[in-house]
Amino acid sequence: MKYVLSLFAVLLVSCGGPIYESDTSLDQLPLIPRPQSVISELGGFGYGSNLEVITDNQELADLQAFIPVESSLENSSGPLVLSLGLKHPSPEAYRLSINRREIRIQGASPAGVFRGIQTLRQILAASNSAPQQPIKVLPLGVIEDWPSVSYRGTMLDVARHFFTVDEVKRYIDQMAQYKINTLHLHLSDDQGWRIEIKAYPRLTGIGAATEVGGGSGGFYTQEDFLELQAYAAQRFIQIIPEIDMPGHTNAAIVAYPELNGNGKTVSPYTGTAVGFSTFDARNEAVYTFVNQVVKELSSLSTSPYFHLGGDESHVTSKEDYLYFVERVGQIIRTHQKTPIGWDEVAQTDLGPGSVAQFWASEKNALAAVDKKMKVLMSPAKKAYLDMQYDSLSPYGLHWAGYISVQDAYNWDPLSYVPGLDADQILGIEAPLWSETISDSSGLEYLAFPRLICVAELGWTPQSLRSWEDFNRRLTEVSYPGNKSSK
Ligand code: TNX
């Protein structure tokens, strides 16, 4: 009975088994994103290294793989029960309750149960046991939780520098911990083409061999893309493919020079300038090409969206730009996808329900809603993960300013652009451009902890957010690339 003196757990023996007491309360734990509602109750739930998982649903049973404890009842107060049937408009809603006899996670769908498991993981990590203490004690209570914004994403630029399948999976795992549900992959740019298109083999044969700074580049086979998509889907994350056009197309044009519209001889590009390349908007071969690319990618992709880029087409005439984007929008719809483009596409008639991704121009964001488009909030001054934290940051750019962790947290995606209503906003996304990073360590330096700020901006309503409270929680947890120097 050496545990009796522990501050952590008072172990009494009653007829039903041991009774545990927790010295922490559920509403004090550093949960991120902060849940919508946490009600604490007195008492504790004890377990050793084991937690028996009970569910009558096979899909939920598969989620056991995400619970970081062994499944058995030995040493535990009771089981972890996973179930569906929660009534809530958001499929990601969940209710997590911990009482003396069991932990229960009920979801509005399997995605909700998965989000609840992430919260449980944070509770387990925050509930320390004393040294040499084999029993961990969790505080009791009920968490009711759901996202305030349905689309919560990040973008990874795999074109300026290529990131391997394993590096992207690592990022997906990190996203999942903070309940991010969308990964936008920027698959093509001037410096590289990164996805196999079977009808145009030189895209990867030639167009994938370059990257910023002269490295060897790389690309995903279609099987790689499916593997990433399946890996993300297990974590209830969608992958949205982007093929950036008509600008940002030098790598495709090097592979297929007949697509070129800037009248110059092209050569591979490994610098970081933008705005010099364009497809030829008046050449039918370009639309044959675009149709094939959209067709092959749309047949692989399970996302309802296809991102056509459309940014910084500085050498495309205005007339050609409008014509091109509208035609590509129609091609995307022919393949049963909804077009998304960077905010410049709001100048075109991309059609109601299509999406403008706001990064720089409030005028474009307002034009988008006039055209019954939705707006995805990615303001460069707040949400660009590739901006330096400050002038000493070893990675990153600063054309939109320096973005400290506090800056990344202190804004509201639903009111950032005056004149936009919340119901016109599809969601929030934090883009990570990769001119200055080429591997997971650079990625993690820029993304963490600022992606965690974005995760909370999308999940937790403004009325429950405060920098002081968030910052306290952030200092109490470990996160990828946790560096105290930031
Ligand atoms: C602007 S933001 C770009 C990208 C660059 C990024 C660097 C946008 C739609 N286009 O081509 O990578 O700045 O921060």
Q: What are phi and psi of 293, to 5 degrees?
A: -65, -45
| 1 confidence band (pLDDT: 50, 70, 90) | very low
Q: Is the pLDDT of residue 23 over 90?
A: no
Q: Is 142 helix (H, G, I), strand (E, B) or coil?
A: strand
Tens digit of each residue's pLDDT (9 = 90 or more) over 62-108: 999 999 887 776 777 789 999 999 999 999 999 999 999 999 999 99
CA distance 112 to 14: 35
Domains 14-145 and 151-465+476-485 agree in fold: no
Q: Is 374 helix (H, G, I), strand (E, B) or coil?
A: strand
Tens digit of each residue's pLDDT (9 = 90 or more) over 208-244: 999 999 999 999 999 999 999 999 999 999 999 999 9
Between 486 and 206, name the one with better pLDDT.
206
Query: Could you tell me where the DSSP H helices lie in 272-311?
Result: 284-300
Best mutation site among 187, 311, 403 for ligand 1 pocket (most ligand atoms within 8 Å of CB):
311
> Would you give the distance in Å from CA 322 to the centre of its chain?
30
Residue nearest to atom 8 of ligand 1 (CA): 311
Q: What are phi and psi of 476, to 5 degrees?
A: -95, -5
Contact assessment for residue 180 and residue 153, using Cβ atoms and an 8 Å cutoff: yes
Mean model confidence pLDDT for the chain: 94
Q: How many CB atoms lie within 10 A of CB 20?
A: 24
Q: Is 341 helix (H, G, I), strand (E, B) or coil?
A: strand
Contact assessment for residue 315 and residue 277, using Cβ atoms and an 8 Å cutoff: yes
For ligand 1, the distance from its centroid to the CA atom of residue 317, given in whole angstroms, is 20
What's residue 485's pLDDT? 38
Residue nearest to atom 6 of ligand 1 (CA): 433
Tens digit of each residue's pLDDT (9 = 90 or more) over 363-402: 999 999 999 999 999 999 999 999 999 999 999 999 999 9
> Which atom of ligand 1 sits closest to the CA of residue 312?
10
| 441 confidence band (pLDDT: 50, 70, 90) | very high
Best mutation site among 155, 212, 312 for ligand 1 pocket (most ligand atoms within 8 Å of CB):
312
Q: Is the pLDDT of residue 470 over 50?
A: yes
Q: Which residues are catalytic?
A: 312
What Cα–Cα distance (Å) separates residue 87 from each residue in 38, 60, 82, 93? 18, 17, 15, 9
Q: Is the pLDDT of residue 26 over 90?
A: yes
Query: Could you tell me where the DSSP H helices lie in 256-317?
Result: 284-300
Q: Is the pLDDT of residue 44 over 70?
A: yes
What's residue 17's pLDDT? 63
The total number of residues shown for the chain amounts to: 486
CA distance 281 to 259: 9
For ligand 1, the distance from its centroid to the CA atom of residue 396, given in whole angstroms, is 12
Cβ neighbours of residue 133 closer than 8 Å, sequence gap 6 or more: 3, 6, 8, 9
What are the residues facing 358 on neighbouring strands? 377
Cβ neighbours of residue 167 closer than 8 Å, sequence gap 6 or more: 439, 440, 443
For ligand 1, the distance from its centroid to the CA atom of residue 204, given in whole angstroms, is 23
> Which atom of ligand 1 sits closest to the CA of residue 274?
11
User: Nearest-CA neighbor of 248 among 336, 203, 309, 294?
Assistant: 309
Contact assessment for residue 272 and residue 212, using Cβ atoms and an 8 Å cutoff: yes
CA distance 387 to 242: 21
What's residue 302's pLDDT? 98
Give the residue-averaged pLDDT of 193-219: 98
- What is the sign of the dihedral through the CA atoms of 372, 376, 381 and 382? positive
What's residue 77's pLDDT? 77
Residue 485: exposure state from Cβ atoms within 10 A (0-12, 13-18, ≥19): exposed
What's residue 50's pLDDT? 80
Best mutation site among 433, 435, 437 for ligand 1 pocket (most ligand atoms within 8 Å of CB):
433
For ligand 1, the distance from its centroid to the CA atom of residue 28, given in whole angstroms, is 39
Q: Is the pLDDT of residue 133 over 70?
A: no
Between 74 and 169, name the one with better pLDDT.
169
| 6 confidence band (pLDDT: 50, 70, 90) | very low
Q: Is the pLDDT of residue 418 over 80?
A: yes
Q: Tokens at residue 389, please?
A: 């934290």
Residue nearest to atom 10 of ligand 1 (CA): 311
Contact assessment for residue 308 and residue 293, using Cβ atoms and an 8 Å cutoff: no
> Which atom of ligand 1 sits closest to the CA of residue 357?
9
For ligand 1, the distance from its centroid to the CA atom of residue 88, given in whole angstroms, is 38
Q: How many CB atoms lie within 10 A of CB 418?
A: 7
What's residue 16's pLDDT? 57
Pocket of ligand 1 (CB under 6 A): 274, 311-312, 342, 359, 384, 386, 397, 433, 435
What's residue 323's pLDDT? 98
> Which atom of ligand 1 sits closest to the CA of residue 380?
2
What's residue 486's pLDDT? 40
Residue nearest to atom 2 of ligand 1 (CA): 359
**What is the architecture, at CATH level 2, of domain 14-145?**
2-Layer Sandwich (3.30)
User: Nearest-CA neighbor of 456 among 115, 32, 40?
Assistant: 32
Share of the chain above pLDDT 70, in %: 94
Q: Tokens at residue 467, please?
A: 């920098």
For ligand 1, the distance from its centroid to the CA atom of residue 155, given in whole angstroms, is 11
Best mutation site among 274, 307, 359 for ligand 1 pocket (most ligand atoms within 8 Å of CB):
274
What's residue 36's pLDDT? 98
What's residue 132's pLDDT? 57
What's residue 438's pLDDT? 98
Give the residue-averaged pLDDT of 97-123: 97
CATH number of the domain at 151-465+476-485, please? 3.20.20.80
Q: Tokens at residue 326, please?
A: 């509208």
> Which atom of ligand 1 sits closest to the CA of residue 434?
12
Q: Domain extents for the chain? A: 14-145, 151-465+476-485
Contact assessment for residue 356 and residue 341, using Cβ atoms and an 8 Å cutoff: yes
Give the residue-averaged pLDDT of 2-16: 46
Residue with tokens 């008492």: 43
For ligand 1, the distance from its centroid to the CA atom of residue 162, given in whole angstroms, is 16
pTM summary value: 0.95
| 130 confidence band (pLDDT: 50, 70, 90) | low
For ligand 1, the distance from its centroid to the CA atom of residue 398, given in whole angstroms, is 11
What's residue 232's pLDDT? 98
Tens digit of each residue's pLDDT (9 = 90 or more) over 259-317: 999 999 999 999 999 999 999 999 999 999 999 999 999 999 999 999 999 999 999 99
> Which atom of ligand 1 sits closest to the CA of residue 160?
12
Q: Is the pLDDT of residue 7 over 50?
A: no
What's residue 4's pLDDT? 37
Residue nearest to atom 9 of ligand 1 (CA): 311
Residue 475: exposure state from Cβ atoms within 10 A (0-12, 13-18, ≥19): exposed
What's residue 2's pLDDT? 38
